[in-house]
Amino acid sequence: MIVLALAAMPFLARGLNALALGEATAGHLGIPVQRLKYTAIIGASAAVGASVAVSGGIGFVGIVVPHLLRLAIGPDNRYLLPASALLGACLLLLADAVARTIVAPAELPIGIVTAIAGAPSFLWILLRKRGVLDL
Amino acid sequence: MIEARDVSVAIGGKRIVANVDFDMRPGEIAAIVGPNGSGKTTFLRALSGDLAYSGAVTINGRDLSAMKLVEAAMLRAVLPQATTLSFPFTVREIVRLGLLVGRSGALPGEDERLPERALARVDLDGFAGRFYQELSGGEQQRVQLARVLCQVWAPVLDGKPRYLFFDEPVSSLDIKHQLIIMNIARDFARRGGGVVAILHDLNLTAMYSDRIFVMHRGRLAATGSPQDVLSDDLIEKVFDCRLRVGVLPAGDMPFVLPQSVY
């Protein structure tokens, strides 16, 4: 399921870029907007569903990583989608290592580690966007 | 050739466009004028395939309602009134989206350079690396125009004319860039394409258009050449204000001088 979603990414990226101009304009460019939206939403839901089935719910990964990366490499989905997948996976590995070692021999729920790192990052992105913070 | 017969559009049960007939040939700039809320944009959206309509529309003899999105995208490009973005795309990324259909009609291998060339045509040389959101309204409008030009770079493809649909292309532009944009439209038409433009400036309309369609309360109030259509009576009635239409000494081009509201 996850592999299928990954394989679909390159085909969706350009259409998603066009969608940034609005649905009408994307349509004028020849993008089948409704089909693209359904494919993207169903694909993302299936991939997330499969991951959650394996690992349980882990918060703050999906909500923080793409936003952080957009600041770093720009909004072009051809690069943003694969980069988000890679950085998301790296962060989870790191969080898992921390969760297993920090209170060894006991084990911390990994969601707590991602929340401790993710919540402040998300707050930072939000405040920056609103112009409250300039860091 | 674009032919629209008896086109009506209703949005939310309210008839916005009623029984409009519209004809244009390649090589022409067709201007749609009329007061705010007279149905100009709604009609153009129907022509673009965005809205359901009753009546018949054909482009190059093909029924618009039977056309696939990609086929329409190869046949015409649409410039909306204004486009705002929520993500920080660069100018180059926006203009490149015009190449998505892949039928710019430029010589093989030239597509890569088209965004830069299109930007140069709209007088935005050197803007490719800038962020779209940081540009002024008029500059953003010209970026969108560059994108649209990339989509139908060649006015004729496989022997068939292509079309530009412009919704108020010059309303946020200074006078120099108004002329530049209208010259691009004229050049596109001269090389065998067609342009449909909603315009508010009646003098620009007189200068550049071959045919004027005057819309009033969703209906077609008049149609014809600038000389035929731009008359004191008609324009005063449609726009509900006092003005005088004159003719420039050199040539027979009409001009419109506003005087007052009633």
Output the 3-class SS for B17-76. EEEEEEEECCCCEEEEECCCCCCHHHHHHHHCCCCCCEEEEEECCEEHHHCCHHHHHHHE
Of the CATH numbers 3.90.1150.10, 3.40.710.10, 3.40.50.300, 3.10.20.90, which one belongs to the domain with range B2-84+158-261? 3.40.50.300
Question: Where is B246: in which H helix or E strand?
Answer: strand B241-247
Which of A17, A29, A70 minimises the CB distance to B73? A29
Q: Which residues contact A83 (CB under 8 A, 6 or more apart)?
A: A69, A73
Question: What's the ipTM?
Answer: 0.89
Q: Which residues of A touch B72 (CB under 8 A)?
A: 28, 30
Distance in Å, alpha carbon of B216 to nearest chain A alpha carbon: 25
What are the extents of the domains in chain B? 2-84+158-261
| Residues in B 148-167 with any Cβ partner in A closer than 8 A | 151
- Render pLDDT for B148-194 as a digit per residue (tens, 0 to 9): 999 999 999 999 999 999 999 999 899 999 999 999 999 999 999 99
* Contact state of A31 with B50 under an 8 Å Cβ cutoff: no
Consecutive sets of 10 residues in chain B, 262 residues long: mean pLDDT of each?
96 94 97 96 96 96 95 96 89 96 89 95 96 95 97 96 96 95 97 97 94 96 93 91 84 82 75
For A65-123, write each residue's pLDDT tens digit.
999 999 899 999 999 999 999 999 999 999 999 999 988 888 888 989 999 988 998 88
Inter-axis angle of helices A33-55 and A2-19, to 10 degrees? 140
Tokens found for residue B145? 């125009």
pLDDT per residue over B225-240, tens digit each? 999 999 889 999 999 9
DSSP H helices in chain B: 40-47, 69-75, 91-96, 114-121, 137-151, 175-190, 202-208, 226-229, 232-239
Decide if B87 and A20 are in contact by the 8 Å CB cutoff.
Answer: yes
Phi/psi at B68 (nearest 5 deg)? -75, 160
Chain B residues closer than 8 Å to A25 by CB: 78, 80, 83
Residue A133 has pLDDT above 70, yes or no: no
Answer whether B153's CB lies under 8 Å from B67's CB: no
Residue B127 CB-density burial (10 A; 0-12 exposed, 13-18 middle, 19+ buried): buried
Taking each helix axis as running N to C, give the angle between helix A110-130 and helix A77-101, from 0 to 180 degrees, rounded to the nearest 10. Answer: 140
Interface of A with B in 52-71 (CB under 8 A): 70
Q: pLDDT tens across B243-253, in order?
A: 888 888 777 78
Q: What is this structure's pTM?
A: 0.91
In the predicted structure, residue A135 carries a pLDDT above the cut 70: no
> Of B78, B87, B151, which to mutate for an interface test with A (greatest number of A Cβ within 10 Å)?
B87
Size of the A and B interface in Cβ pairs below 8 Å: 61
Q: Is A18 on the interface with B (CB under 8 A)?
A: yes
Cα distances from A95 to residues A9, A56, A87, A133, in angstroms, run 25, 14, 12, 27
Q: With beta carbons under 8 A apart, name residues in chain A contacting B98.
A: 29
**Which residue, B145, B40, B27, is CA-closest to B83?**
B145
Distance separating alpha carbons of residues A1 and B186, to the nearest angstrom: 53
pLDDT of res. A105? 87
